[in-house]
Amino acid sequence: MIAALPMDEPTLISLQAMLLRSFLIAVIGFPLLFVGSRLAARVARRNFTEHHAFIVSKLVFYIGCILILVTILLNLNFNLTAILGTAGIATVAISFAAQTSLSNLISGLFLLAEKPFGVGDMILVNGTRGLVLSIDLLSVKLRTLDNLYVRVPNETIIKSDVTTITRFPIRRMDLDVAVAYKENLRRVLEILKEIAEQNVYSLDEPAPLILVKEFGSSSINILLGVWFEKANFLLLKNAIVLDIKERFEREGIEIPFPHVTVYTGSATTPFPVRVGEKGSSSDPE
């Protein structure tokens, strides 16, 4: 057993002074740090987004904490070299274990810098469509249209194709319209142009796109692309389809369903058809 050596008075006084200094550093430093991080966030919020402010606030706070702790340790005459050495080894070990998290963190920083989308945007990533609720350090949170909560790691977003649906103020809605081969195609195109012009949600400019796409197997397929303000997607979608249906019915334009026409070997000879009652001699069974 090692007996505790009595401290002489100058050592005791200097120890007390060191402890007092450390205590004062902590008591003054942490509140100042807290205020400083809030101020930094406020400045960042004025010039950038809310999430930039969040990151700046956290960075200032954590760096400040480390500085205060290092100051306290230095004040208490700790040998930081040994601590840093241990920390270095620990960092390597933690890095291997936290690869994914670090990747997400770094991806998050890149996302914040690149700004492919913001909070409130509708995005499509890996087949998931949702409203961006927040862009955090490790992940992006989405709310889908049927009110599901989806967490997408930042690394996934960096590595995937992300479509920001609401990036631009206007969009084009493309509709495939099929008409029967017997219809007067020029008249159909004229009617589609009128429908687009008369729809209240469709913009006059950019002008609607009307394109004959192809001669399909059952119909002539036409692409109708109307431009609209992004907030009116659902209103336009229903309205334009109803307008087309009603107008085609009024004009007697057929929208064919897929069908197959069978010939008996030549283009004009029909199949012979005989109608009889079940159980009669005409019934083949």
Partner 1 sequence: MLAQPAWLPEIWRPHSPAVGDAAHWCCGALELVLCRHGDDWLVRSAPRSDESFGNYGVTIAPEGQGDTKGAERWAFDRAVDRFFVKPAMPDRPVVVRPYDPLHVPQHSEVLFYVSIPLWMQVHVLDGRDQSVALGSYPSLPISGIWFGDPMSGMLCYSLKSRALRDLSGFVVVAHRAVCPVTIRNTCPETLLIEKFCLDVAHLGVFAGAERLWAQPVTLHRFDSERPVRAEYGRSAPTQAGECVVLAPPARRPEAGLLKRAFASDAFRLF
Task: Determine the interface stretch with partner 1 among 42-50, 128-136, 192-200, 256-264 (rule: CB under 8 A).
Answer: 192-200
203 makes contact with partner 1 (CB under 8 A)? yes
Work out the number of other CB atoms within 10 angstroms of the CB of residue 210.
18
Among 10, 114, 147, 168, binds partner 1 (CB under 8 A): 168
Paired tokens of 75: 């004040």
* Torsion angles phi and psi, residue 153, rounded to 5: -60, 145
Q: Which one, 205 or 285, has the nearer CB to partner 1?
A: 205
Query: Least distance from C-beta 236 to partner 1, angstroms?
Result: 11
204 makes contact with partner 1 (CB under 8 A)? yes
215 makes contact with partner 1 (CB under 8 A)? no
- Given its phi and psi angles, is residue 181 left (phi above 0), alpha (psi -120 to 50 degrees) or beta? alpha
Among 229, 235, 239, 256, binds partner 1 (CB under 8 A): 229
- Residue entry with tokens 């085609």: 248
Among 202, 210, 220, 243, binds partner 1 (CB under 8 A): 202
Buried b (16+ CB within 10 A) or exposed e, 94-122: eeeeeeeeebbeebbeebbeeeebeeebb
The rounded distance, in Å, linking the Cα atoms of 22 and 74 is 9
DSSP letter, residue 69? H
Among 227, 243, 244, 253, binds partner 1 (CB under 8 A): 227
Query: Least distance from C-beta 44 to partner 1, angstroms?
Result: 26
205 makes contact with partner 1 (CB under 8 A)? yes
In 3D space, the residue among 44, 72, 49 whose CA is nearest the CA of residue 59 turns out to be: 44
121 makes contact with partner 1 (CB under 8 A)? no
Among 120, 169, 252, 270, binds partner 1 (CB under 8 A): 169
Interface contacts to partner 1, rule CB under 8 A: 168-170, 197, 199-206, 227, 229
